[in-house]
Amino acid sequence: MNRPVKSKHIPRATIRRLATYIQVLEGLAQEGVEVISSNPLAEACDVNGSQVRKDLAYFGEFGIRGVGYQVKPLIDSIKESLGVDREWRIALVGVGNLGKALLNHTEFRQRGFNIVAIFDCDPFKIGEIVHGLEVHCTKDMRMMVDEMNIEVGMITTPPERAQRASQHLVDAGITSILNFASSRIKTPEHVQVEYVDFFHQFYTLAFNASQGLNR
């Protein structure tokens, strides 16, 4: 299997499918599967075999014709291609119920996304220890981001505080933000923002369910 090729022109849909491939492949590895061809992998990921081959081709040549893909090396190659083969240090802003739940989610660290600093503007929360981390004032963010080599920001504030939280992150030099707050934020063009809004999925489920009831 050749070393994956880095590329900056990859469709977002491909990136999302690659994340799914990793999830499925890791499950197969846990079951002891060592080799899999594109069609069974595609079926498990709810796509077609040609799509799997096309997605992987963005990063180089994978697999052996007539044999398939070696599961563990393929996992490593996809992770390297996505840049998730190393630790990403994260600052979380907003230590409410959602923030605390995510801090308790051990899979973040297992997958290389390590929340190393947490911030809040509530004076009653500052100084509190939550899952082994001390809550710091957002005013300390700029200094701590630099000292702790933090690269990613995670917003878990109420919607009305998300914009202010994003500004703190941007002022601290963060250019990659994952926003869990159910509101859109404005950032400079060089800052990448990804949104996690559970209601989007609920709306899709509700629509599909209502369409089924109306048949």
Q: Give the domain ranges of the chain.
A: 12-81, 88-199
| Nearest alpha carbon to residue 49 among 34, 63, 31 | 63
Instruction: Provide the residue type at 68 as one letter.
Output: G
What pLDDT score was predicted for residue 105?
92
pTM of the model: 0.84
Q: Which helix (H) or strand (E) holds 13?
A: helix 12-30
pLDDT 10s per residue in the chain (215 long)?
Answer: 444 444 457 888 999 999 999 999 999 999 999 999 889 999 999 999 899 989 988 877 776 666 788 999 999 999 998 899 999 999 999 999 999 999 999 889 888 999 999 999 999 999 999 999 999 999 999 999 999 999 999 999 999 999 999 999 999 999 999 999 999 999 999 999 999 988 888 988 998 898 876 65
Pairing of the two strands 129-130 and 133-137: antiparallel
Q: Which one is the CATH code of 12-81: 1.10.10.10, 3.40.630.30, 3.40.50.10540, 3.90.1150.10?
A: 1.10.10.10
Judging by beta carbons within 10 Å of its beta carbon (0-12, 13-18, 19+), is residue 165 exposed, middle or buried?
buried
Inter-residue contact 152 to 176 (CB < 8 Å): yes
Fold exhibited by the domain 88-199: Rossmann fold (3.40.50)
Q: How many CB atoms lie within 10 A of CB 101?
A: 10
The angle, 0 to 180 degrees and rounded to 10, between the axes of the packed helices 71-82 and 12-30 is 150
- Please say whether the dihedral angle defined by the alpha carbons of residues 175, 179, 184 and 185, taken in this order, is positive or negative: negative
CB atoms within 10 A of CB 169: 30
Express each pLDDT in 139-176 by its tens digit. 999 999 999 999 999 999 999 999 999 999 999 999 99
